[in-house]
Amino acid sequence: MRSAGTVFSLRWQPCRTFSRVIPCKLGAVTTRTLIKNLAAASDGETSVSGWVDTVRDQKKVQFVVLRDESGAVQLVHPRSFNEDGTPAEDPLAEIISGLAQGTFLTASGELKHDERVKLGGVEIKLAAIEIAAEAIPETPIAEDTSVDKRMDWRFLDLRVPRNNLIFRIQTTLEHAWRTYWVENDFIEVHTPKLMASASESKAELFEVDYFDTKAYLAQSPQFFKQMAQSAGFGKIFEIAPSFRADPSFTSRHATEFTMVDSEISWISSHEDVMNLHEELMVAGFQAVKDKHGDEIEKLFGIEMTVPTRPFPRIPLAEAKQIVSDRGYTVPRADADMDPEGERQIAAYVKETFDHDFVFLTDYAASIRPFYHMRHADDAGLTNSYDLVFNGVEISTGAQREHRVDVLEAQIRDKGMDPEELDFYLDFFRYGVPPHGGFGMGLGRVLMLLLGLPNLREATYLFRGPTRLTP
């Protein structure tokens, strides 16, 4: 019976038939054990596969630290000596002496539990090594290498346990969100990323050749999320790439990034969207804390906390006044909160409410898209919000305007031509319920959750104004 954490693989050898050499299957099956499961395994024969992290080649004994996707283990090989004390012929020792960092291999031997071993309390006394792929001895990056150069060698950078953990956390976070959505009867959609026209504005678009015409890479799934409400889907979500031709070189911007989007029907106000957003974040953070809390504290020095509900809510005008009272004035009174303003309001919320999240609400219509619903008693304000986490905006949400005549008027107010958005307005001409939703940057959430200095480290392969490789 297969035990948890073991990987089974068939072994192959070349078989000759006429003039061709083809793979030929052996009858035996080899068992690979994931390193994280060694501690729970019994002493005895075992086999692990991974890459060489370090080699300590001492006179009497050799040590190899081997890593795989789940952890690290110490391999031990006592050297052989003749009766007169001279080194004996030892092919395995020669192999170990020639191992370069990064070499992928399979190691077989005897597992032994020993609490004195700092690395997991187990070690493997080597019997054999089978090298799968040798690495070049000279490593191009180190721990103190600049982030730009590390991005050049991202596949090596990701072998570091700390960086590996980032993407295991991402997996847990996305799985928790999907679980929440599915358990609450949401429908997952996959909206197109090739657009005939801009989704929100004509700014920051990547234009691509599309047969005999032009297409644009999608900035947002906004219009198609709203189409799902007209289609009667009710509640939908999507986790997918978005593209913006933004020449920014800040620590929190990218030209290609992953967006987390959700949209729901039959809401009363943007408060319903904020409630959904809170529930989703709590579900995700709880899952990450439960599964990775100890590792996060060990590798990032951060005690993982799950936010309490409700999140603080502060109207934007009031938030700007709070920031001003703290000694900082947002440069433009008619604009959004700038990065320093976000940091200041986050500091205030932490001091006042001991909370890492804050909803900034009631944004001016002048700085919001045409499809945001305006206040019933003040057309200058919108039923919208930004969610700020640890001093950085991670999401924008709103109640959408669902009345077609009002939408057309708001399009004109923005200096746009309703005819250019005719396909979008069709959604509303045939009826759509009151609805709203949000879009959130996955990379920013990870960056802020782990206290990373920039978005590049929270992105598997970063794309920015000057980076298209690897």
Q: Is 105 assigned a ligand-binding role in the annotation?
A: no
Q: CB within 8 A of 130, min separation 6: which ones?
A: 105, 106, 107, 108
Average pLDDT, the chain: 92
Q: At the top level of CATH, which class does the domain 6-133 belong to? A: mainly beta
Single out the residue of 240, 257, 239 nearest to residue 248, CA to CA.
257
147, containing H or E segment: helix 147-152
The whole-number pLDDT of residue 334 equals 78
Q: Is 168 assigned a ligand-binding role in the annotation?
A: no
Q: Enter the pTM of the model.
A: 0.90
CA distance 52 to 35: 13
The whole-number pLDDT of residue 27 equals 39
Q: Is 162 assigned a ligand-binding role in the annotation?
A: no
In three-state form (DSSP H/G/I as H, E/B as E, the rest C), the secondary structure along 246-312 is CCCCCCCCCCEEEEEEEEEECCCCHHHHHHHHHHHHHHHHHHHHHHHHHHHHHHHCCCCCCCCCCCC
The whole-number pLDDT of residue 201 equals 59
Single out the residue of 193, 226, 256, 189 nearest to residue 421, CA to CA.
226
Q: Is 71 assigned a ligand-binding role in the annotation?
A: no
| Confidence bin at 199 (pLDDT 50/70/90) | low
Structure tokens given for 246 = 């933004």
Q: Is pLDDT at 22 greater than 70 in this prediction?
A: no
Q: Is 401 assigned a ligand-binding role in the annotation?
A: no
Q: Is 200 assigned a ligand-binding role in the annotation?
A: yes
Question: What is the third-level CATH fold of 150-458?
Answer: BirA Bifunctional Protein; domain 2 (3.30.930)
* Mean pLDDT along residues 371-376: 97
pLDDT tens by residue, 383-430? 999 999 999 999 999 999 999 999 999 999 999 999 989 999 999 999
Which strand ranges, in their side-by-side order, compose the sheet holding 235-243? 187-188, 235-243, 256-265, 435-441, 392-399, 384-389, 357-361, 313-315
Q: Is pLDDT at 59 greater than 80 in this prediction?
A: yes
CB neighbour class for 70 (10 Å; exposed up to 12, middle 13-18, buried from 19): middle
Q: Is 89 assigned a ligand-binding role in the annotation?
A: no
Q: Is 244 assigned a ligand-binding role in the annotation?
A: yes
pLDDT tens by residue, 65-105? 999 999 999 999 999 999 888 889 999 999 999 999 999 99
Q: Is 443 assigned a ligand-binding role in the annotation?
A: yes
| Confidence bin at 185 (pLDDT 50/70/90) | very high
3-state secondary structure of 439: strand
Domain boundaries, the chain: 6-133, 150-458
